[in-house]
Amino acid sequence: MIDIEDDKIGEGKGAIALQIHDGGGIKVRWRNIRLTSLNETKAGISEWQYLFDGINTDGWRAYNGDVLPPQWFIEDGALTFDTDLKLESEFEGGKDIIYSAEEFDNFELYMEWKLPPGGNTGIFYHLKEGYDEPPDVSPEYQLLDDLQWEAINNATLEEWQKTGADYAMYPADTTQKIIKSAGEWNTSKILFTPELVEHWLNGKKIVSFVPWS
């Protein structure tokens, strides 16, 4: 877990990344990944830029790597990871991917995502490379099949491990949280400013905290 209070790694600009837990039978989908900077607006209207537009994977590659890892591909306009996709040879590198074309400081990030039963993934932001894994040096918006994960894995989770949490730091507000079943599309939004970070899920604000607190 990142020691954000002492080191503040990622303070300033950092990258956006997607996490993969490489278990068998997992197929995770993302679409409409877009971001607007909160530093600059024109006539009071923010301009959105697509980090993934449903057509190509330009700008995406492995964390600490040079190319997009195998098992990542585009399917029906969604950026998709499938552990059941057969590989020509064994792949030794990590499967987490980073949008490397640009780093961001203050922003609003929006995306849609869909998990299979028991799925587990996450969104990293203000990420820096050169470390072993993204969770070591980045805040994480946790994504999980909250409704089935515990039964499938015969394990009990804490609230800070469930969808919408700032992983291992701030749990989601369960009175506001609405999560759809595995196989359905959910929406997530992250707002980051020097004063406040907000996590949104399906139109509801579920986490709010001061950066690096």
Chain segment 171-196, per-residue pLDDT in tens: 999 999 999 999 999 999 999 999 99
pLDDT-derived band at 3, boundaries 50, 70, 90: very low
Domains plus CATH for the chain?
4-209 (2.60.120.560)
Whether 105 contacts 127, CB under 8 Å: no
Cα(13)–Cα(209) distance, integer angstroms: 18
Cα(127)–Cα(185) distance, integer angstroms: 25
User: Could you tell me the pTM of the whole model?
Assistant: 0.91
pLDDT-derived band at 86, boundaries 50, 70, 90: low
Q: Please tell me the predicted confidence (pLDDT) of residue 10.
A: 54
Whether the per-residue pLDDT at 78 is higher than 50: the answer is yes
pLDDT digits (tens, 9 = 90+) for 4-43: 443 455 567 999 999 988 666 689 999 999 999 998 655 4
- Phi and psi for 28 in degrees, rounded to 5? -110, 140
Cα(75)–Cα(165) distance, integer angstroms: 28
Q: Please tell me the predicted confidence (pLDDT) of residue 88.
A: 61
- Phi and psi for 5 in degrees, rounded to 5? -70, -35
Sequence-separated contacts (24+) of 172-180 with Cβ below 8 Å: 172/199, 172/201, 172/206, 172/207, 173/205, 173/206, 173/207, 176/204, 176/205, 176/206, 177/201, 177/204, 177/206, 178/202, 178/203, 178/204, 179/146, 179/147
Which among 182, 139, 183 is positioned nearest to 164, based on CA atoms? Answer: 139
Whether the per-residue pLDDT at 95 is higher than 50: the answer is yes
Q: How many CB atoms are closer than 10 A to CB 64?
A: 15
pLDDT-derived band at 46, boundaries 50, 70, 90: low
34, two tokens:
């877009």
pLDDT-derived band at 212, boundaries 50, 70, 90: confident
